[in-house]
Amino acid sequence: MENTTRIFGIRAVIEAIESGETIEKIFIQKGLSGNLFQELNRHLKSGDFNISYVPVEKLNKLSKGNHQGVVANISPIQYISLEELVERNKEGNPLYLLLDGLTDVRNFGAIIRTAECCGVSGIIIPTTGAAPVNADTIKTSAGAVFRVPIARVNHIKDALFHLQTYDIQVVAATEKTDQSIYDINLKKPTAIVMGNEAKGVSNSILKSANQKASLPMLGEIASLNVSVACGAILYEAVRQRI
């Protein structure tokens, strides 16, 4: 399934930017030029956009109309800033979820659904290199994507440091540790980091986290699906907190 909204044409994308639409990704034809494109370029420099420069054949597949060398995917949700997310929860006992390089939209949707059920305060994802919120995400989340605040940041590592300044412990889920999630105190303000489906949490995040935690594996398969692992860890937090 495709993204909920797709627009094409340079002027349409400019107007979307000016009106404050949340743009998931912009595809621009390689070598594009002209006065109108220069106007678009000025807008792009004013913000942090996820841009891919692609051959015209890619754009032709994305759009049946006259795309003028530019196609954009509009997010069906409004993201919030990390600062706003932290401000909303500074008086409570927040439980955050950071997704480091998660790319599969169905895993993303399943994680959002579990997060909502577990009372997660907010989810934090990177602006680039992350699964988008599209129709598949919405369907797999059973609509939970509209209930859980999601913040986008330039770098997950910067978000980690920002949370730590508020005395929020960061716990990275990884099989590269002997410490069990069941031995970590999750009753206090906590941010749990889940990693990429293939590579897990990046090494730089592992080094910066306050704690590293694993789930016990009693079978012969070395790892769980990331959404399943996330559910097990979040429910350990729920168990401790109730």
pLDDT 10s digits, 36-88: 999 999 999 888 888 999 999 999 998 877 899 999 988 888 899 999 999 99
pLDDT confidence tier of residue 221, bands split at 50, 70 and 90? confident
pLDDT tens, residue by residue, 89-133: 988 999 999 999 999 999 999 999 999 999 999 999 998 889 988
| Strand partners of residue 95 | 190
Q: Which run of H or E residues covers position 27?
A: strand 23-29
Q: Which run of H or E residues covers position 238?
A: helix 226-241
pLDDT confidence tier of residue 10, bands split at 50, 70 and 90? very high
**Amino acid making up residue 196:** N
Please list, in sequence order, all residues whose beta carbon lies within 8 angstroms of the beta carbon of residue 239, skipping any fewer than 6 positions away.
none
Token pair of 175, please?
């099989």
* Whether the Cβ atoms of residue 151 and residue 89 lie closer than 8 Å to each other: no
pLDDT on residue 2: 46
User: Could you tell me how far CA 30 lies from the centroid of its own chain?
Assistant: 27
* Residue 193 DSSP SS3: strand
DSSP 208: H
DSSP 75: P
Write the Ramachandran bin of 60: left for phi over 0, alpha for psi from -120 to 50, otherwise beta: alpha
Q: Which residue has the tokens 């996330």?
A: 230
